[in-house]
Amino acid sequence: MPFEGPGGNATAQAFARSLGVAPPSLAALLLPDLPWEGSYERVTGSLYTPGGARLALESTRAEWVLVGQTGEKGELALFLATPKETATARFTQPRLALRWLGSRLGLKPGPFEPDPRQEQDLARLAQGELEGVSRFPVPRALYEAALVLAKSGELKASLEPLPRPLVEFWTGLAAGKLLPAYEAMFDLQENRTALAQSQARKLAQGNALERIAAVMVLQAGKDPSWRAVARGLSEYAPEIAYGWEQRGFAALDEDRPDEAAQAFSRVLELLPKNRSAWTNLGWAQYLRGDKARSLRASLQSLRLGTDPTAMYNLGLVRALYGDFVGARAAYTRALESDEEGIYRLAIEDLQNSGDAHMSYWMGFLAERVGLLEQAKGYYRAFLEANPKHPLAGSARRALAQEGKLEVRLVALLLRPDGPDARPFRAGEVLFPQVRLVGSPYLSQQPLSVRLLDAQGGALAQASKKIAFRAFTTELEELAPGVKLPAEGRYVLEVRYGEAVVRQPLEALPASLARQLYVLGLEPRGSNGMPLLEVAELLGLEGDRLLLQKLEAEFKAAAPTAALNPRLSQPLKAGPYAGQSVAELLRKAERRVLEAFLRAAVQKPQLLGENDVVNAFVNWVQK
């Protein structure tokens, strides 16, 4: 395969030519992705690892697969997978690497003649970009045939330089004959879970590719045997990081932190810059009671990038150490980067620590994410158990704060993307847009809406949960919609926790123009321009203005329609039988225009991208 790194394509091509095998840029076009989301990156970190080489061998069924990485100073790391082993070697000179490779494969290398000038062309060929390439390692027709094979499974020319099983992978794929691992994953993706699990149990004793698929399928089906399969995978293919990662998770599930720590350490031997593995190792070390190693692992994870889980773990360890400043800083950074609500697990971890001092930090987290009542409970529990603790003053100040909550009505909408649409009409669903304000932080509450009649009785109601980031004090949100059932006077009530706002409303007679707006329909003239602006459609005169514009458009189109034999002949059926389309356009009677608009409301595709005249002609003829 093409090597990764500076000059990697040209170096790999020189190796292939010396060994008398297919050009790497040609092989790259047919290397299959692995049958799960994330391909190599998910299970081995990259193709350019010992595990990546092994899985490439198993997916292509070649006699051997070589991947490599080049360095800035010409150094070279090679990963050679054969059915017997996966070998790794590092060299300062490519010629030494070639000699090692020849001895491993039983081949006698020819001249080694890398041509750096080919690097860009070879890189483009490996991506399937043939245009603009002046020199091909083999005839261009082979690259074209490889692209056709990968796209359609059709073999239009001999690809003899490549392993026959690799070619058969693509012809088999087109014929629905998949490798077992691919078939199991495909069945899982198609929600044929029972069938996929049945296959997975057979794959559990197969090659590394099949065992990985088995773990994924069994996990998805919540079959606990995935843990045993993961352990088997780690022993069978120790060069594959995924096996060790899943073994670590299995050990955590079974409350075996020592095994988990060892497994995650093996992941890091293979992938030293794997951030999640450092995070997981930190947690396993914490569960082992080794706070120092847990702290180091969490810090290393954070050096590699922002990770709220690692930051929460760091906060926990620092809190247990009594490092209040460090814990506050870690928890604050964790909350700032937490987009998935991981704080709930962090609160559980604090609770499960068994340390009574941790209730302060539970309150600290809960308060800042808006769980204000829970936060007060945690602070009270902390003060009852630790009235003279250095953090007691902070807890008392938090309890002494007077929380405030306010909901303000910003606008009433017919569509979430539209302007304020008052006054409303009978039959419309209105959506309140509100601003929520809270202190010290916005509390988590349901946002509810009620439509009340003149006597205060509830006619309609709806509610929703809303999500927001930690430290939020103000938020604009779209509340659930409620329907105005008929003409008359109403009161709209929006409530967020104890905060409430009420707005009197009057529902006027229904409007066809506004109904079109709700459906996202924009009546257009023969010039392609909207007949009315949005404000005109929504206004009190919307229907009158729209009918006026329709009348003008229809009458303007009538003379042309009269010259068309198809449009000037009387209609033979329907409500307008005996009249021609041209005549209907010329008269443009109000009742006909209104019937047309009602039809468009019932069948929005009638208008679609058509102008109103063409839409009318299509409608009246049907």
Q: Whose CA is closest to 169, among 66, 27, 52?
A: 27
The single-letter code of the amino acid at 588 is A
pLDDT over threshold 90, residue 609:
no
User: Could you tell me the pLDDT band of residue 454, with boundaries at 50, 70 and 90?
Assistant: confident
How many Å apart are CA 477 and CA 435, to the nearest integer? 6
Upstream peptide bond of 257 is cis (omega within 30 degrees of 0): no
Upstream peptide bond of 440 is cis (omega within 30 degrees of 0): yes
The token pair at 364 is 């600290």
How many Å apart are CA 408 and CA 501, to the nearest integer? 7
pLDDT over threshold 90, residue 30:
yes
How many Å apart are CA 260 and CA 246, to the nearest integer? 9
Domains and CATH numbers, the chain: 3-152 (no CATH), 180-400 (1.25.40.10), 404-508 (2.60.40.1930), 512-621 (no CATH)
Percent of the chain surpassing pLDDT 90: 95
Return mean pLDDT, the chain.
Answer: 95
| pLDDT, position 158 | 86
What's the full length of the chain, in residues?
622
How many Å apart are CA 23 and CA 121, to the nearest integer? 13
Please, which residues have CB within 8 angstroms of residue 269's CB and are 6 or more apart in sequence?
Answer: none
Backbone φ and ψ of 89, nearest 5°: -150, 150
**Helix locations, 20-163, DSSP H:** 24-30, 39-44, 50-60, 94-105, 119-126, 140-152
pLDDT over threshold 90, residue 134:
no
| pLDDT, position 160 | 84
3-state secondary structure 574-614: CCCCCCEHHHHHHHCCHHHHHHHHHHHHHCHHHCCCCCHHH
Under a CB-based contact definition with an 8 Å cutoff, are residues 305 and 282 in contact?
Answer: no
Percent of the chain surpassing pLDDT 70: 100
**Helix locations, 204-323, DSSP H:** 208-220, 226-236, 241-253, 257-270, 275-288, 291-303, 308-321
Q: On the CB side of 437, how many CA atoms lie within 13 Å of its CA? A: 8
pLDDT over threshold 90, residue 157:
no
Burial class (CB in 10 A: 0-12, 13-18, 19+), 322: exposed
Residue 406 bridge partners (DSSP): 437
> How far apart, in Å, do the first and last CA atoms of the chain sit?
62
Q: What is the mean pLDDT of residues 378-407?
A: 96
User: What's the Rg (C-alpha) of the chain?
Assistant: 35
The token pair at 27 is 């092989």
DSSP code of residue 139: -
| pLDDT, position 341 | 94
| pLDDT, position 99 | 93
Under a CB-based contact definition with an 8 Å cutoff, are residues 67 and 56 in contact?
Answer: yes
Q: What is the mean pLDDT of residues 197-224?
A: 97
Express each pLDDT in 61-110 by its tens digit.
999 999 999 999 889 999 999 999 999 999 999 999 999 999 999 999 99
pLDDT over threshold 90, residue 376:
yes
Residue 508 bridge partners (DSSP): 425
Q: Whose CA is closest to 521, among 596, 425, 410, 590?
A: 596
How many Å apart are CA 204 and CA 228, to the nearest integer? 9
